[in-house]
Amino acid sequence: MPRKVYLKLTALDEARRLWLEGFSQYALGAEEVPLHLAQGRTLAAPAEARVSSPAFHGAAMDGAALAAADTFGASERRPLALRVGEKAFWINTGAPLPPGCDAVVMIENLVPGRDADGAETVALEKAAFPWQHVRKLGEDLVATEIILPAGTVLGAYELGALAAGGVLRPLVYKKPRVAVIPSGSELKPLDEVTPGMLAAGAALPEFNGLILSALARDAGAEPTVLPIVPDEPELIREAVSAATLGPYDLVVVNAGSSAGSRDFTPDTIAELGELWVHGVNIMPGKPTALGRVNGKAVLGAPGYPVSAVISFEEFGQTLLARWQGREIPPRPRDEARPFQDLPSRPGTEDFLRVKLGRVDGRLIAVPLPRGAGTVSSLSRADGLIRIPAPAEGLGADRPAPVAFLRPPSQIDGALLAVGSHDQTLDLLDSLWRRRDPGRRLTSAHVGSLGGLTALARGRAHLAGSHLLGPDGVYNRAAVAETLAGTPARLVRLADREQGLILPPGNPRGVLGLADLARPDVTFINRQRGSGTRVLFDRRLRQIGLEPAAVNGYEDEEYTHLAVAAAVLSGRASAGLGARAAAAALGLDFLPLDREEYDLVIPERHWDDPRMQSLLETVRSPEFHAAAAALGGYGLTRTGQVVWTFEG
């Protein structure tokens, strides 16, 4: 297995410049499409009005059309009657004025009648002035004027303007066609995979094609996912050759571009055409390859989903937009303060996914897992922080630019809950959004103590906490100590059962904490500062068991579900956590404690309408029912203020 080395990483801007310049002469071609199929398409040339709108002088009101000169002298005292069909003409809004007419009198200002000859008349009590209530020819658009410039993406308003100007088949760019070639012998097409196969580890589903197709559509392109190609240089070469000779403008080879053993894409590009870039100084996304084969753009995108996304957004979408002469609007930006120090390796530009909340006017950024495989870090992220290549990282609380992945209103509609994790928080978020669209509960899991510290530093709106105090009472001692000077209320979210999470059937016969000292039992611990860890350490002391005697005491996870997952996978044979987590994964549960999980809410956020709306959801029957269904929760005091801390 020979090893590939990146000869030289190219800086992102330089790589993009090479890529865009390399295809600056590439032409997509254009086509005329009828308006009802043109939504979302991009004008390939300025659209010039073919007719004026209106194309004639038309009535702007329902009433009578007439010549203003015929009405001079009319007054309330001396109403003027005009014969209908001769001097006045009934007219509907939008209809062309009869010849000789230059004004419309509204129907409510006309008195119908008959003249001496019995002919129909209308009487006016006021003279009309010329052009009153008339939509003049060309008032909206004059023939030949430019309605919309080239590069305009056609939305509802634009379609209307084109229709008004008689541009019934606008000239738009042909949709760029994108082929995605997934490569990897172990991959299975998503539509051949069942959840059962996934759970059994029997299939690695290919879903980057799905994600990249959606991103291609967002950029106005038409994607095709080609069949999966096994990791054989010859087969990849054949696939790239065929795709670049086919109808595609951009060919994306996904995976096979890491610097590992199966790195065939760059070689393929170099052999079949020109390889311009191999390796970009971004993370995730480093193993990107860029080049041209048979005149077509070929992008080698890394295999991990987050890497593939960033690579495709930076190079694929940019090129597709440029070809259509349209702009991908930059994401809204702001400055955010990192919740914690964010280290970074100098020499690469780090793309960090973060959750965001605006607390006391300051935007707080809580980092999500960095792994390029955690696709949920994209769907959960509110924003993206880039750490420039030369930097060694960003310091906590030092403002850094952040690009929003959601509309700013959604960031501002969110409450940031930092603290202990509990599954009911996710439930609460889901129910709250439904009850009050535009709201969201953004939660980050740093343990109970971390949450209280965050509150004290103004880095969260609320914190979930279940810290057993030395007095045997939950949360009060820790709040009093941590939040000195910050009055707050404790609202009970739920009582919950904590206990040992064990493999199904409890094969090792673990009957209590004392058994964790047995050599055949491996424990998975929670991180320092979490309520569960505090509880565990306290119970260990009570039974006189040394931490060192617990096999796996140093192995930590950050959530109840992660602990349960560790037990399920056999990584550990016991963990401490909530019953709901054990139930979720079908594991055994040995109850040890009934603990109190509270929301700690600083007084200054109490009257925030978002907070009151959230608390209404906490107290709603829907939340009660959904939390009860999870199992292991006591909900009798849910939503009650259980303690007020004076600060």
Q: Single out the segment in contact with its own copies by CB under 8 A; choices: 79-87, 174-182, 503-511, 554-562.
A: 554-562
Residues 326-355 that bind its own copies (CB under 8 A): 326-327, 329-330, 332
CA-based angle 37:42:46, to the nearest 5? 110
Q: Single out the segment in contact with its own copies by CB under 8 A; choices: 66-74, 80-88, 341-349, 556-564.
A: 556-564
Give whichever of 203 and 462 is closer to its own copies, judged by the CB atom: 203
- CB burial class (10 A; 0-12, 13-18, 19+) of residue 202? exposed
Binding residues with its own copies: total (CB under 8 A):
136
Residues 566-625 that bind its own copies (CB under 8 A): 566, 568-569, 571, 584-585
Residues 385-424 that bind its own copies (CB under 8 A): 405, 407-410, 423
| Contact track, its own copies, 172-211, x by CB under 8 A | ------------x-x---xx-xxx--xxxx--xx-xx-xx
Alpha carbon distance 564, 503 (integer Å): 9
User: What secondary structure does DSSP assign to 254-294, as a single string?
Assistant: ESS-SSSTT--HHHHHHHHSEEEEE-BSEES-TT-EEEEET
Shortest Å distance, C-beta 372 to its own copies: 9
Shortest Å distance, C-beta 240 to its own copies: 21
Give whichever of 57 and 386 is closer to its own copies, judged by the CB atom: 57
CB 401 within 8 A of CB 385: yes
CB 453 within 8 A of CB 412: no
For the stretch 591-630, what's the b/e string if a residue is b when 16 or more beta carbons lie within 10 angstroms of its beta carbon? ebbebbbbbbbbeebbeeebbebbbebbebeebbeebeeb
- Work out which of 31, 62, 397, 537 binds its own copies, going by CB under 8 A: 62
Residues 132-161 that bind its own copies (CB under 8 A): 135-151, 155-161
Shortest Å distance, C-beta 5 to its own copies: 9
Shortest Å distance, C-beta 589 to its own copies: 14
CB 448 within 8 A of CB 495: no
Alpha carbon distance 306, 371 (integer Å): 8
- Work out which of 12, 243, 565, 615 binds its own copies, going by CB under 8 A: 565
Residues 248-307 that bind its own copies (CB under 8 A): 258, 260-262, 303, 305
426 binds its own copies (CB under 8 A): yes
CB 296 within 8 A of CB 28: no
Give whichever of 148 and 179 is closer to its own copies, judged by the CB atom: 148
State the DSSP code for 78.
S
Residue with tokens 């990791």: 231
Nearest to 603 by CA among 543, 551, 646, 639: 646
Residue 570 CB neighbour total at 10 angstroms: 9
Give whichever of 422 and 596 is closer to its own copies, judged by the CB atom: 422
| Strand (E) or helix (H) holding 601 | strand 588-602
Give whichever of 90 and 606 is closer to its own copies, judged by the CB atom: 90
Give whichever of 231 and 537 is closer to its own copies, judged by the CB atom: 231
Shortest Å distance, C-beta 150 to its own copies: 6
Nearest to 463 by CA among 624, 605, 628: 605
220 binds its own copies (CB under 8 A): no
Residues 433-492 that bind its own copies (CB under 8 A): 433-434, 437-438, 440
| Contact track, its own copies, 359-388, x by CB under 8 A | ----------x-x-xxxxxxxxx-------
- Work out which of 12, 215, 229, 510 binds its own copies, going by CB under 8 A: 215
CB 288 within 8 A of CB 257: yes
CA-based angle 621:622:624, to the nearest 5? 60
Residues 75-104 that bind its own copies (CB under 8 A): 90, 92-96, 102
Shortest Å distance, C-beta 479 to its own copies: 28
Shortest Å distance, C-beta 163 to its own copies: 4
Alpha carbon distance 316, 318 (integer Å): 5
**Which value, to the nearest 10 degrees, does the dihedral of the CA atoms of residues 449, 452, 457, 458 take?**
140
- Work out which of 85, 98, 113, 130 binds its own copies, going by CB under 8 A: 130
User: What secondary structure does DSSP assign to 461-530, as a single string?
Assistant: SBEEE--B-TTS-BSHHHHHHHTTT--EEEEEEEEEEEEEEE-TT-TT---SGGGGGSTT--EEEEPTTS
Shortest Å distance, C-beta 438 to its own copies: 5
Helix axes 233-245, 265-272, angle to 10 degrees: 50
CB 123 within 8 A of CB 135: no
Give whichever of 562 and 642 is closer to its own copies, judged by the CB atom: 562
In sequence order, what are the residues at sequence separation of 6 or more whose Cβ sits closer than 8 angstroms to the Cβ of residue 489? 600, 601, 603, 606, 641, 643, 644, 645
Residues 21-50 that bind its own copies (CB under 8 A): 34-36, 39, 46, 50
Q: Encode 572-592 in three state secondary structure.
A: CCEEEEEHHHHHHCCCEEEEE
CB 349 within 8 A of CB 388: yes
Query: Sign of dihedral through CA atoms 632, 638, 642, 647?
Result: positive
Q: Single out the segment in contact with its own copies by CB under 8 A; choices: 280-288, 319-327, 342-350, 461-469.
A: 319-327
How do strand 187-189 and strand 204-206 relate by DSSP bridges?
Answer: parallel
Shortest Å distance, C-beta 375 to its own copies: 4
Shortest Å distance, C-beta 110 to its own copies: 9
Give whichever of 294 and 430 is closer to its own copies, judged by the CB atom: 430
Give whichever of 191 and 471 is closer to its own copies, judged by the CB atom: 191
Q: Single out the segment in contact with its own copies by CB under 8 A; choices: 25-33, 238-246, 320-328, 446-454.
A: 320-328
Give whichever of 324 and 498 is closer to its own copies, judged by the CB atom: 324
Shortest Å distance, C-beta 272 to its own copies: 24
- Work out which of 322, 355, 386, 492 binds its own copies, going by CB under 8 A: 322
